[in-house]
Amino acid sequence: MPDDLRYERGRKQLHQMMGEVGDQALDNIAGISPDMARYIAEFVFGDVHSRPGLDLKTREIAAVVSLVTRGGAEPQLRAHLHGALNVGCTEQEIVELMIEMAVYAGFPAALNGLYAAREIFAERAAKAAR
C-alpha cells in the first residue's frame, strides 16, 4: 500500500480512537518532527491499530495497561484513557484495570494510573456539563 493511503487510513483510525485529543497530539508532534508524526499515522494507526484481529476496546485497554506498567508516560496515558473511553470502556472498567495493575505492576504504578484516570474522568464530566 502506498504511504499516502496508509497515512490517510491512520489519521482516520487515530480520530476514531482518540478524537480531537489525538488529532491535536499528532499536529503537536509534527511541529517537532514531521517524520515522527507521519510514522505514528502510517505505522501506529495505519498499520497496527487498523489490523482486524483485536477490537478497538481491547487495543486501548492494552495501551493503557502498558503505559501504567511502564510509568513516567503521563501524557500518553492521559491520551489513551480518553481513547479507551471513546471506544467503549466504562470508567468502572478502567478503575478495575488499575486495581488489577496493583498485582502485576505494583501498587505505586496502579495508584498513579488511578490518579490519571480521576483527572480524565473529571475533565470529561466538566466538558459534558457545559
Contact positions vs a copy of itself (CB under 8 A): 1-3, 29, 31-33, 35-36, 39-40, 43-44, 47-49, 51, 53-54, 58-59, 61-63, 65-73, 75-76, 92-93, 95-112, 114-115, 117-118
Smallest distance, a copy of itself to C-beta of residue 97, A = 6
Smallest distance, a copy of itself to C-beta of residue 112, A = 6
- In the bound state with a copy of itself, the residue whose beta carbon lies nearer, of 47 and 127, is 47
Rounded to whole angstroms, how far apart are CA atoms 75 and 22?
11
CA angle 24–26–31, rounded 5-degree value? 95
Rounded to whole angstroms, how far apart are CA atoms 27 and 115?
27
- Cα 82 to Cα 34, 64, 86, 125: the distances in Å are 24, 10, 6, 12
Element (H, E) at 30: helix 3-32
> How many beta carbons lie within 10 A of that of residue 37, not counting itself?
18
Smallest distance, a copy of itself to C-beta of residue 39, A = 7
Smallest distance, a copy of itself to C-beta of residue 23, A = 15
State CA 20 to chain mean position distance: 12
